[in-house]
Amino acid sequence: MKNIRLFRQIFIAALLIIIPSIFATTWYGTRMIQSFYYQEMQRDIGDRALLLRPHILQMLSGSSEKLQEFCRQTGRTATTRITVIDGDGTVLADSNENPAQMDNHGTRPEIRTAMTGTTGSSLRFSKTLNQNMLYVAIPLHTDRPRAGVLRLSVPATTLNAVLSKIHREILLGALFIALVAGGLSYFLAHRISRPLEEMRRGAERLASGKTNQPIVIHETNVSKEMAELARSLNHMAEQINKRINIIVQQRNELEAVFTSMTDGVLAIGTDHQIIRINKAAAEIFSIDSRNVRNKPFEGVLRNRLLQQFISQALDSETIDEQDLVLIENGRQITLRTHAVPLFDGEKKRMGILVIMNNLTRINQLENMRQDFVANVSHELKTPITAIRGYVETLLDGALNQPDDAGKFLQIIDRQGARLDAIVDDLLILARIEDNAEKNAIVLQLEKISPILEAAVQTCMAQAEQKKITVNLECPASLEGRVNRPMLEQAIINLLTNAITYSPEKKTVELRAEQQTTKGRKIIRISLQDQGPGISTEQQKRIFERFYRCDKARSREHGGTGLGLSIVTHIAGSHRGTVEVESVLGRGSTFTLILPGDTE
């Protein structure tokens, strides 16, 4: 069937639409009004909840009786039921009932929705009040929605009565219109307006950016002019949609690049307001990048040196560069800052772009490298100097004196063994760090007791020489995900130190147990000695490479100064930590803390 003129459509189809249109409009209007009243009532209750939330949060820190009395008084005044629910579903307070006698509310649909961080609502029958109620719940803490919920509810009787009255009036009005209209004009107007309305809505969708929803009109039922107009609008929507997709793709690519940059990037307008800030820059200054846009940078970046640099860059037409040492949240950071002019699409200056390269970690690594090289050089130079000195003595004639030659050769042997031990420990450290960087450390589910027993057995000869008793306490069922050789090495290092620095005929305690801290299972392996103890100042540095509390005594016992550093790296590779507790003259306790999860 060909498209016909609008005139003939009006003439032929005048009697075909009015009655179905009236009933359709009635049904649709009823549904919309019902939805509108429900949403308005829900929004009103939600607004009340938002107003009450700060007071409820303040009351939570006090006694439960005050919270209950506040809910009862406020609920009576507002003719609204108020319920405060804890994160586990326990009712903390209720304006109408005794919370101690109420069921757990964690399964209520509006409560579950509120615990996801959004406003929850439900219209259902209340067994407590024996009537239909409209419930609206919001999280008490926006950043921790599962920590608690505030719920308000009102009877749905008023809502049902209003809707029933509206339904009756709309139905009577529709019947009256159908009887009075009864003619061609309404049918004809609706017939013509329907395709026009579709095109209007399509044009509005197009204007709002929804270009992927074409206007659908059956061309066999509309005039030729309307069909041509619809096709023109759809064609225009397709072209706009293509252009928008290209723009969105380009914007997303730029946004991805901007967000993933490791250097901090800050765009500031000529009016001193922040245009954009990426994640790296926000982390440097511990701010939320979403809440600082269009705010003056002076109120966001409180550092005076950075403010001066940005102000100078805004007044300058050239590229500015400067290294800044800032103090942020009690830590010192070094930033290499570059500021370049920022222009819009019309080549008009709109501000500056500040790029901040954080050199803090690089400087720390460089200092660590320098300290490490200095310590290694010192530790290696000492035995090498001794070896060379005694070799020269032997060459100068001491070789012909058997007693002295033997003594000197023994010293050379000890110093050589010390060099070998230092090199071995350095290789162990390098291997642990390399495997950690490559994620090559394999953790398997192992029994802890056999590992500790193997470490004790390794150190038993050293303990027997000093008549030291090693007591081992470890449940046979204790297990965790560990790297057995590495964990055994860590225990051997700790046990060797404990035996080395404990007096003769003393006891060393080695214990392992599983604990739960803040809902997380951990394995604590502690080793307690009866040595001289470690001062508080030295406890902060004993895990550094080559650091010794008593250098003379440590070298006397043959230590390399790397044992505890190896323990620290092994703990880190297990996602754990090492702690020390010590009092001078009362011994020390080293504790290796590892994750206790077995999955």
Q: Which residues contact 566 (CB under 8 A, 6 or more apart)?
A: 425, 428, 429, 432, 489, 490, 493
Name the helix (H) or strand (E) containing 120: strand 120-126
444-595: CATH, from 3.30.1370.160, 3.40.190.10, 3.90.1150.10, 3.30.565.10: 3.30.565.10
CA atoms of 195 and 9, how far apart (whole Å): 12
Q: What is the pLDDT of residue 148?
A: 87
User: Which CATH architecture best describes the domain 261-358?
Assistant: 2-Layer Sandwich (3.30)
Q: What is the pLDDT of residue 156?
A: 73
Q: What is the pLDDT of residue 390?
A: 65
Q: What is the pLDDT of residue 7?
A: 45
Q: How many Cα atoms within 13 Å fall on the side-chain side of residue 347?
A: 0
CA atoms of 445 and 480, how far apart (whole Å): 5
The pLDDT tens digits along the chain (599 residues) read: 455 554 455 555 555 566 677 777 777 777 787 777 788 888 888 888 888 888 888 888 777 888 888 888 888 888 888 888 988 888 888 888 888 888 888 888 888 888 888 888 888 877 766 777 888 898 988 888 888 898 888 887 766 777 777 777 777 777 777 666 656 665 665 566 566 667 767 777 766 766 666 666 655 566 676 777 777 777 777 777 778 778 778 777 777 776 777 777 888 888 888 888 878 777 777 777 777 778 887 777 777 777 788 888 888 877 777 777 776 666 677 777 888 888 877 778 888 888 877 766 666 555 555 555 555 555 566 667 767 776 777 777 766 777 767 776 776 766 666 666 666 666 666 666 665 555 657 788 888 889 889 888 888 888 888 888 889 899 988 888 888 888 888 888 888 888 888 888 889 899 999 888 877 888 889 988 888 888 777 766 676 666 655 544 444 444 556 777 778 878 888 888 888 888 887 888 888 888 877 55
Topology of the domain comprising 364-437 = Helix Hairpins (1.10.287)
**Does residue 149 contact residue 115 with C-beta atoms inside 8 Å?**
yes
3-state secondary structure of 455: helix
CA atoms of 274 and 342, how far apart (whole Å): 13
Question: Can you name the residues that pair with 269 across neighbouring β-strands?
Answer: 351
Strands 349-358 and 320-328: unpaired
Pairs from 358-365 (Cβ < 8 Å, separation ≥ 24): 358/263, 358/264, 358/280, 358/284, 358/333, 358/334, 359/323, 359/334, 359/335, 360/332, 360/333, 360/334, 363/334
Give the residue ranges of DSSP H helices in 396-502: 402-437, 448-465, 484-501
Q: What is the pLDDT of residue 556?
A: 47
Task: Give the chain's length.
Answer: 599
Instruction: Centre a 10 Å sphere on the Cβ of residue 463 and count the other Cβ atoms it contains.
Output: 19
Question: Top-level CATH class of 22-163?
Answer: alpha beta
Measured on CA atoms in the order 29, 34, 35, 39, is the torsion positive or negative? positive
- Reference 525, options 483, 481, 485, 474; nearest CA is 474
CA atoms of 508 and 463, how far apart (whole Å): 9
Measured on CA atoms in the order 368, 370, 374, 380, is the torsion positive or negative? positive
Query: What type of residue sits at position 17?
Result: I
Report domain extents, the chain.
Answer: 22-163, 183-253, 261-358, 364-437, 444-595
**Are 22-163 and 261-358 equal in CATH topology?**
yes
Name the helix (H) or strand (E) containing 328: strand 320-328
Q: Tokens 């030295």 — which residue?
A: 538
DSSP 62: S
Q: Which residues contact 255 (CB under 8 A, 6 or more apart)?
A: none
Q: What is the pLDDT of residue 554?
A: 45
Q: What is the pLDDT of residue 164?
A: 76
Q: What is the pLDDT of residue 220?
A: 57
